[in-house]
């Protein structure tokens, strides 16, 4: 899933894989207007994405995957091909590979009831204090992000002793369930209000959603505690150089 900011660059890079025996699909997520924090009106003057309007738009978080995936037509295409689950992960997580043990658990559940949504979590360290965590409320698993936590409880949320796991954003999701919930308009995700300041100094509001927050909308959801090796985010050039260097070794799980 690309945003309007990354789509063209991604297509250029993917051209060199045209002769590979792997089909790579892309689709775009939505484009939402930023809101002026003072007037609560859209910053955009019109629907164009050029000139002064460039900063007026934003991609509304990875929670948009459900609607955008459905609207792209790829969901129906994959279901028509007999596919049952998608594995979703952050593009910068080099540890996010298809784990056949988890897939086998999905296809052959011990209790005979298939999970519609599986979230991989891993043990929290002091470097992960901002990561979302799983809670159980009214019989459903729920994802709690730090942006949703009142300031008075942020330190408590960051505690590695009270909240011992965090969401890796490696997710296994039933395609049929996504289709059902999307057509029923039943995917419920909390809105995250994200305050930003544009280059010109204008204070704006972005309304975003997180993909994992939909866990409560699916039936028989599950959290699986996985090894740390499945969470290896590379966000900076120095991160990448470290992983590529002779100083780094990745243990086989």
- Residues identified as active-site: 235
Token duo for residue 157: 């949320």
Give CA separation, 139 vs 25, 160, 220, in Å. 36, 24, 10
What residues does 143 pair with on adjacent strands? 134
Q: How far apart are CA 230 and CA 252, in angstroms?
A: 10
Token duo for residue 32: 């939402």
**Cβ contact 228:93 at 8 Å:** no
Report CA Rg, the chain: 20
What residues does 28 pair with on adjacent strands? 2
**Cβ contact 192:148 at 8 Å:** yes
**Cβ contact 189:215 at 8 Å:** no
From the CB of residue 214, how many other CB atoms can be counted at a distance below 10 Å?
A: 25
Give CA separation, 106 vs 10, 65, 98, 135, 141, in Å. 31, 21, 12, 21, 17
* Sign of the dihedral defined by the CA atoms of residues 22, 3, 100, 74, in that order: negative
Q: How far apart are CA 71 and CA 67, in angstroms?
A: 6
């Amino acid at each position: 899933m690309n945003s309007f900011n990354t789509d063209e660059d991604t297509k250029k890079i993917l051209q060199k894989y045209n002769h590979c025996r792997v089909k790579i699909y892309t689709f775009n997520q939505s484009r939402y207007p930023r809101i002026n924090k003072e007037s609560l009106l859209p910053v955009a003057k019109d629907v164009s994405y050029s000139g002064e309007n460039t900063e007026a738009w934003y991609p509304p978080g990875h929670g948009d995957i459900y609607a955008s995936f459905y609207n792209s037509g790829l969901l129906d295409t994959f279901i028509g091909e007999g596919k049952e689950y998608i594995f979703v992960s952050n593009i910068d997580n080099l540890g996010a590979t298809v784990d056949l043990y988890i897939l086998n658990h999905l296809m052959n559940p011990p209790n005979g009831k298939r999970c519609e949504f599986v979230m991989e979590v891993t043990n929290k360290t002091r470097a992960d204090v901002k990561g979302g965590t799983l809670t159980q409320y009214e019989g459903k698993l729920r994802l709690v992000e730090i942006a949703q936590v009142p300031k008075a409880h942020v330190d408590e949320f960051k505690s590695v002793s009270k909240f011992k796991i965090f969401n890796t954003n490696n997710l296994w999701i039933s395609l049929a369930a996504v289709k059902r919930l999307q057509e029923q308009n039943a995917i419920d995700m909390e809105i995250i209000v994200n305050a930003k300041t544009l280059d010109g100094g204008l204070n704006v509001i972005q309304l975003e959603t997180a993909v994992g927050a939909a866990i409560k909308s699916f039936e028989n959801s599950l959290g699986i505690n996985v090894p740390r090796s499945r969470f290896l985010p590379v966000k900076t050039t120095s991160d990448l150089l470290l992983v590529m260097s002779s100083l780094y070794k990745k243990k086989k799980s």
